[in-house]
Amino acid sequence: MSSPARALEVAHLVTLSALAGTVVLDPTAPSRRAPDYAGWLTGQQRVDRVMSRLAPPLFLSAAATALAAGLVAVAEGRPGAANGRLAAAGCVVAAVVVTLRVNEPANQTLRAWRPTDPPPDGWQEVRSRWNRAHAVRRGLVACAAAVTAVDQTAAWRQG
C-alpha cells in the first residue's frame, strides 16, 4: 500500500470513527427522550443546534475519505479494500440522503415551534418520523463502520 493510500485509510478510519461515535452511539439521545412536548422539543432543538454544525463536515469527510480510499485501492489493484471502502461510502451517502429527505425537513419545522406554546397537531407524528429516519441513518452508519472494521481487520492480518 502506498503512502497516500495509507494516509487516506487513516483519515477514513478517523472520520468514520467520529461519525459512528456521534450517530451510532448517539450520546444526545437522552435529550430527545422526554415524554412531554415541551421537554422533547427543548431537547430536540438543543441537539439540532449542535448537530446542524457538526454533522455536515463529519458526513462529508467520512464519505469523501471512504470514496477516495476506495478509488486508490482500485488503482493499486486491491479489490477487497476497494469494495469495502466503496460500500462504506455508499452507506454514508445513503445516510446523508435520509438526513436531507426526512430529518432536515422535520428539523426545519421544529425550529419554528416553541416549547411554551401549546403542542401543535401532529407533533407526535413528526417525532416518530424523525426517530424512524434517525434509526435508519444510525443503521447505515453502523454498516459503514462494520464494513470498514472487517476490511481493516483483514488488512492487518495480511500484514
pLDDT value of residue 41: 96
Helix (H, G, I), strand (E, B) or coil at 119: coil
Q: pLDDT exceeding 90 applies to what percent of the chain?
A: 81
61 C-beta neighbours (distance < 10 Å), count: 18
Q: CA 136, CA 120: separation in Å to the nearest integer? A: 26
Residue with cell 461515535: 21
List, for residues 29-47, the tens digit of each pLDDT value: 998 899 999 999 999 999 9
HSE-CB at 91 with a 13 A cutoff on CA atoms is 24
List, for residues 53-98, the tens digit of each pLDDT value: 999 999 999 999 999 999 998 999 988 888 999 999 999 999 999 9
3 C-beta neighbours (distance < 10 Å), count: 7
Q: CA 98, CA 35: separation in Å to the nearest integer? A: 25
What would the grid cell of residue 102 be? 426526512
Give the pTM.
Answer: 0.92
Q: CA 152, CA 55: separation in Å to the nearest integer? A: 24
What average pLDDT does the segment 92-115 reach? 97
Spans of all domains in the chain: 3-158
